[in-house]
Amino acid sequence: MIFFIYGTCGILSYNMIPSIQLLKKARELRLFGKSLSEISNDLNIGRSTLSSWLKDIKLTEIQKAELAQRNSVKVSRGRLNALVMKKSNRVFKEKNIYDQAVRAFPRLIEDSFFMLGLSLYWAKGAKEGNCFQFTSTDRKMVEVMKKWATRYLMAEGAQISEIMYGKCIRLNISGIDKFRQLTAWQKLLIAYYDNV
């Protein structure tokens, strides 16, 4: 079958007609000031194909400025979405840890060693931050807390470190999840003593 397109003669199959229509639409969108990404998303055509189809079309300075503004908005929106997702993941994780602590707490309050360690941390442990920190001048107390953290927080050797500050020993246990578990138990302990 013979078709006349833009005054030239060519032999085309029916399968090529949609490609010509896509090419025409892509060119219209580009002339309108759309980015290659926007056209690719709109028409479901690869960017490399669009690059070859549209390389002769130059955007005006106004179109370039509008495109830069749209890209800036997209980047800002993407960053905001990433922050929201990160925060929601953190909140979900904290809630999950808190729920596990709530389930374990009734059994653990019967354990005198658990209550001892939790009370010692309440007195001499860091209340803010993102890791377990316990400071004392008493080496035996530090060792007790190390055993406590190993037993109840499942802390392992590589996570546990000690730093000397003059006569003080600070026990550090890395892992934000372990610290969240500890703070959940502390909240439950405070609530428990409020009700006693």
The CATH number covering residue 175 comes to 3.10.28.10
Q: Which of 5, 48, 45 is nearest to 29 (CA)?
A: 45
For the chain, how many structural domains are there in total?
2
Position 77 in a domain: no
* pLDDT score for 196: 65
The CATH number of residue 11's host domain is 1.10.10
Residues 105 and 182 in one domain: yes
Residues 52 and 102 in one domain: no
Residues 116 and 191 in one domain: yes
Residues 27 and 112 in one domain: no
Residues 130 and 181 in one domain: yes
For residue 110 the two structure tokens come to: 């019967």
Residues 6+ apart with CB under 8 A from 69: none
Position 74 in a domain: no
Last residue of a domain, one of 58, 80, 105: 58
* pLDDT score for 148: 93
Residues 6+ apart with CB under 8 A from 101: 181, 184, 185, 188
Which residues span the domain enclosing 179? 97-195
Position 66 in a domain: no
* pLDDT score for 137: 93
Last residue of a domain, one of 28, 58, 88: 58
pTM of the full structure = 0.56
pLDDT tens, N- to C-terminus, the chain (196 residues): 444 444 444 444 445 556 888 888 988 998 888 988 888 888 888 888 888 888 898 888 998 898 889 888 888 888 999 999 998 988 888 889 889 988 999 999 899 999 999 999 988 888 777 889 999 999 999 999 999 999 999 888 788 889 998 889 999 988 888 888 888 898 888 888 777 6
Position 63 in a domain: no
